Amino acid sequence: MVMGQRIGALEVFERFNKGKKVSEAHWDYDVIPKTLATLKDKYRIHFGKKVIPDDRDLSERLFKAGVEMLSTVGFFCPDIGKTLTITEDEIYDCLDNLPRKIVMGSGKDAVSVEPRFGSARRRPILVGGPTASSVSENIYMRMMQSYARENIVNVLFNGVLDTFAGHEYKPNTPNEIYAVMKEMKMVDAARTLSGRSGMPVIGPESGLSTGARVSSRMDNFGLRACDGYDICLRNEMKIDYICLNMLASAEISGSVNHLEALPVFGGYCGGAEETSICSVATSIASFVLFGANVHIDGPIHIRWGVTTARDTLRVLAHTASALDSNSSAIIGSLYYTMAGPCTEMCFMENAAQAIVDSVTGREIIESSASARGVELDKTTGLEARFAGKASQAASGLSVEEANDILDELILCYEPLFPSPPASKTFQECYNLDTITPTEEYANVYTKAVDRVRSIGLDMRY
């Protein structure tokens, strides 16, 4: 490794092969939880009741704990059954030399992403889309149009095609590759029909195998070099052959590497403090080991399957504050809400996470996998608009102001997690001819804005 440069895919692969042999069970049940518990005590990582921290020293200690976590245990490849090692000097040297800007998209639709640092008045870049939720084949393009037509949305995030040619498709089959190609074609058509042909997209989402995901980079057909190549790390602190092969293809052909990791609160990590240490370590690994241009996290609550619970918002806030205070890394978060479209609750959840992300220095927000991302066709462009407007209003708030709003806002929806209100599909709350929200859905949106404004966030309609 040349000092100041990120470790490439070939060297990562070589380090794994030369690494220490570990069973996956030992990694999950012993290495991860025990090391996190030790570091929590060593660095005195204890969160208060507030969602967003105002203790700079705590953020510094959390960052150091994340660095030590990565340099102590490394990263695990289950396909090889070994860990790799990296030194603290390599970590800090690479972080000191991260690029200060990335550009996605082309022409008039190009998006420049630069570090924000704290509660900057410049709002985060808004990524809108089904964010890997499943979408019916016959409405896929129109759903993507619902995001591309929202002027506040800067980048599209693809959904998963539920079928190809009306049939289910399986990994490692020709149909899977064709499904990815159809995904890319329909997203391209959606942005072009919306007058934003250069708009950047993040994908692919319809393929699981190496072949399907790498095929999304085909010239004149799939992702462009200025689009986001979505590479998903495994929990916790793992990377498999699929991701390593995607990294190799990205190095060869060039891309904006969009790495994501969704640590599980209440899982192998444990509580909020331990999950935050793991999240910081994984975020650093994305940049130092795996060549990320952007790292996205979204801690998932083990009981609720969302990112918007108070505990998971605390993880998001503390992780971002630690990284923001100690690096120029470009980071974002993925939104998983309990409620689905056409409910005030879904909008409230989007607002809460948008406030957290905007005040803690994140550069990107990605809205949203509504209805926990598990129900077919339950995502729409209006959720992204709401998140963007909330983020716009929250940018520049003090930590104290944001926490006061969050305390009341979270109480509007978290008690409803056991029995969220009935939601509607895209087809039920959008006019499919005009790609506009129905009158009912527009009214729900307006009421949600009114409610958020009454709590203290001066967001626009």
Q: What is the pLDDT of residues 149-158, one digit of tens each?
A: 999 999 999 9
Residue 366, φ and ψ in degrees, nearest 5: -125, 105
Alpha-helical regions (H) of 216-368: 241-253, 272-288, 310-326, 344-359
The domains found in the chain, sorted by start residue, are 102-455 (3.20.20.460)
The CA-CA-CA angle for residues 307, 365, 289, to 5°, reads: 85
Tell me the helix, strand and coil percentages in the chain, rounded to 5.
45, 15, 40
Q: What band does 217 get if pLDDT is binned at 50, 70 and 90?
A: confident
Alpha-helical regions (H) of 194-309: 210-215, 241-253, 272-288
Q: What band does 260 get if pLDDT is binned at 50, 70 and 90?
A: very high
* pTM for this prediction: 0.96
Condensed to tens digits (0 to 9), the pLDDT of residues 343-398 reads 999 999 999 999 999 999 999 999 999 999 999 999 999 999 999 999 999 999 99
Condensed to tens digits (0 to 9), the pLDDT of residues 9-68 reads 999 999 999 999 999 999 999 999 999 999 999 999 999 999 999 999 999 999 999 999
| Of 148, 207, 157, nearest in space to 218 by CA | 207
